[in-house]
Every structure is written in C-alpha cells, then in structure tokens.
Structure 1
Amino acid sequence: MEIAGRSFSERATDRRADADLEAMALEIVRHVPRMIKAYPTEVEFWHWFSGEIESIRRNARTFDERERLTARLIQALLDNGIKGEMVPAGISR
C-alpha cells in the first residue's frame, strides 16, 4: 500500500520497526537544540521532550533497545548544555 508517496507493507518486520525507531530517535536528537530555543519556558520544553522519549520507550521491542535509545536522547540533552541533574528522574530510567 502507498500513502502520500511512501510505501507501507501490510505487516512491519522487526528489522523495519527497529530502523524506524532508530530514525525517530535520530530525528529527536537533531531537534533538541532547536526545541530548547523554541520553547519559552523549561516546562514547555520538558513537556515536549518527555512525550518524545516516552514514545521511543513505549515502542522499543526490548529492554536493551529502550535503554540504549533513552541514553542517546539523554546524551543529546547533555550535549546541548542541559546539566544531568536537570533531567527529571522519571525520564532517565
């Protein structure tokens, strides 16, 4: 099936699901600097970020995948000047 020029199979394979999740995490990492600047308050930024990270964690197939991708997103925060102690405890694990 094709929707808006993008091909979708009837059933997603595990490999395709993993690739889609990797792409999603990479896209979030790319957006972190822009989103830090875009939101006028920390509350708004954390609302956006926590929704994104929750989506990644919910869709990860394994514990290891969830932890690896969560660590990547946390590292994106650190790389963009957000101190580790600023990361809400519920997000880090």
Structure 2
Amino acid sequence: MKEKSKDKNNPKLQYTIDATNKSLGRLASEIAVILQGKKNPHYEPRIQGEDGVIVKNVDKIKITGKKLKQKKYYRHTTQIGHLKERTLEQIWD
C-alpha cells in the first residue's frame, strides 16, 4: 500500500492498494478502515475521513469457496413483486 499526498498544505492522502491475490472481505475491511479515517492520527469518530483509496488489479481478487455461485445480492425497485436477485458471478461478468 502506497501513500501519496496531493498537496503539502492539504492533509488528504490518496492510498493505492494492489488487490492481487487478496481476499475480497479482507480487502474490503482494509479499505473501510482507510475511508473511515482510522489510519489518520487525528481520528475522531464524529468526523468523516478525508482519505481516498485507489484499488488496482481488481480482476485478480481472490474469491474463496463457492461465493461466485452462492452469494446473492438483492435490490428492490419499490414496485410490488420487483425484488431483483443476482449472484456474484453475474455481477462480475
């Protein structure tokens, strides 16, 4: 993971993460910590983090088990009977 500040006067950092052979859940947890601002020494729970994340090689993420076929994501269109269901495999295609 690399850190890069855009401007010396601006404390916002831009993190670059290589996702090659990293587990999807662990990578998501790592990104969430950065976006919440918990890597910043001036962290306060009531203030939103200002750091950004760029993820490279997303197509090389390691997805363990049968998640591609069994993991389902649901969304509703607010119409009666319009509950949409997609598997992780359909989303990644």
> TM bucket by the smaller chain?
0.3 to 0.5
More strand by share: 2
Normalised TM-score (structure 2): 0.33
Larger Rg: 2
User: TM-score scaled by structure 1?
Assistant: 0.33
